[in-house]
Amino acid sequence: MTKDKTILRALAGETLETPPIWMMRQAGRYLPEYRATRAEAGDFLSLCYNSKLAAEVTLQPIRRYGFDASILFADILLLPQALGADLWFVTGEGPRLSTIETQADFDKLSAASAIHETLNPVYETVRILRRELPRETTLIGFAGAPWTVATYMVAGRGTPDQGPAHKLKDENPALFDQIIDRLTEGTVDYLSKQIEAGAEVVKLFDSWAGSLKGADFDRYALEPAKKIIAELKARHPDVPVIAFPRGAGERYVGFAKATGADCVALDDGVTPEWAAANVQVDGCVQGNLKSSHMVTGGQDLVDETRKIVDAFGKGPHIFNLGHGITPDADPENVQLMIDTVRNSVR
Ligand code: CP3
């Protein structure tokens, strides 16, 4: 594996003068070229499974901005779909899935080994990207972490407080554990295939980790991440893993060590000064500009960007937002963020 790519150098623990930069949801609705390709594909899921068009939208932000990394265009909910859940997206509202409330609902799911039939177009997208990306751009594959994916599978939709998943894990932990275990196994196979197709880094999105407290955090966020990373490292020892336990707060401390992750992605709920002292001491961190700056722009964006670059300047750091860019963001603010990062000397 070449280590001249800046993201790979940061993930290996190197402190770079200018942090490499990419952005969560960098291929998305704030870009007119994304909206045009999505209209051509029909709907969001058709775009995810159309390898040629999914590769095209992945490349769009690279062409426009020259980000240091490219993230595969897909979705964390393709895995439950590949396990047999029904999945559809309601425009303006978000995802809908068949729910899991009983053992009988769970028993209808497929074995983890059956996922590739559905997910083959995603691996093909990865292969196209490895051919077409500029040689300096790192390709990141991803999956949802078991807890976050389970919150959607149990409720059948996104929920403000992940209430249905909390209720099921408390009332029927044996059933809930089966869901987590199936997802853990499926995630390892899914990410392994992405790596075999050409992904150079993989990221595990635990978007709802912050709703797990105390022992629940250990059992449903930390443990599955640890198992997935251990198995991935056994199969692909050279491929770095980024973990994103969003909302973890104090639990960011030691998360990389406990799970074996090469980098933790930070949300904007922690200050860069605190995270530099308490999290970056263990290795590379990624983050954590508030996404709303991509909407509001101006001097605040410049000041906050510089603050983050400075605070993380003494260790390995990948610049990113604290969460995905939103559809109402102004593409010019993205350019301003990139210019600010690349022109800052630390
Ligand atoms: O970051 C990227 O550019 C890569 C592609 C990517 C998407 N989703 C595309 C997408 C990635 C990495 C994801 C991850 C994802 N998907 C997460 C975890 C990260 C996070 O944001 O917390 C989650 C929870 C999902 C599930 C999901 N997908 C939801 C809840 C929604 C609806 C909400 C929304 O933003 O519209 C999606 C849809 C989705 N996934 C879109 C994109 C570009 C918008 C769909 C569209 O074009 O209409």
What percentage of the chain exceeds 70 in pLDDT? Answer: 99
> Cβ-count burial of 11 within 10 angstroms (0-12 exposed, 13-18 middle, 19+ buried)?
buried
Contacts of 94 (CB under 8 A, 6+ apart): 157, 158
User: What local confidence, expressed as pLDDT, does residue 91 receive?
Assistant: 86
Rounded CA separation 82/293 (Å): 36
Q: What residue's CA is closest to ligand 1, atom 32?
A: 94
Among 70, 76, 97, say which to mutate for ligand 1: greatest number of ligand atoms within 8 Å of CB: 76
User: What local confidence, expressed as pLDDT, does residue 346 receive?
Assistant: 63
User: What local confidence, expressed as pLDDT, does residue 124 receive?
Assistant: 98
Residue located via tokens 């993201």: 7
Q: What residue's CA is closest to ligand 1, atom 25?
A: 76
User: What local confidence, expressed as pLDDT, does residue 3 receive?
Assistant: 66
Dump pLDDT digits (tens) for 87-145. Answer: 999 988 999 999 999 999 999 999 999 999 999 999 999 999 999 999 999 999 999 99
Q: Could you tell me which residues are beta bridge partners of residue 97? A: 87
Ligand 1 lined by 329 (C-beta under 6 Å): no
What are the residue ranges of helices labelled H in the chain?
Answer: 6-11, 32-41, 44-49, 51-65, 78-82, 103-107, 116-132, 146-155, 163-171, 173-197, 214-217, 223-235, 255-259, 272-278, 293-296, 298-311, 331-343
Q: Which residues of the chain have pLDDT under 70?
A: 1-3, 345-346
CB atoms within 10 A of CB 12: 15
ipTM for the predicted complex comes to 0.92
Nearest atom, ligand 1, residue 148 CA: 24
Active-site annotation holds for 75: yes
> In angstroms, how far is the first alpha carbon of the chain from the final one?
28
Residue 152 structure tokens: 């959607």
Active-site annotation holds for 35: no
Considering only the top CATH level, what class is 6-284?
alpha beta
Among residues 198, 195, 270, 191, the alpha carbon closest in space to that of 227 is found at: 191
Q: What residue's CA is closest to ligand 1, atom 36?
A: 94
45 touches 90 (CB < 8 A):
no
User: What local confidence, expressed as pLDDT, does residue 333 receive?
Assistant: 98
Domain ranges of the chain: 6-284
| Distance in Å, CA 343 to ligand 1 centroid | 30
User: What local confidence, expressed as pLDDT, does residue 4 receive?
Assistant: 84
| Distance in Å, CA 94 to ligand 1 centroid | 9
Active-site annotation holds for 131: no
User: What local confidence, expressed as pLDDT, does residue 92 receive?
Assistant: 86
Q: Which long-range contacts (CB under 8 A, 24 or more apart) does 248-256 make?
A: 248/209, 248/210, 248/217, 248/221, 249/210, 251/209, 251/217, 251/221, 251/222, 252/278, 252/279, 253/278, 253/279, 254/282, 255/222, 255/225, 255/279, 256/282, 256/283
**Is residue 103 annotated as involved in ligand binding?**
no
145 touches 212 (CB < 8 A):
no
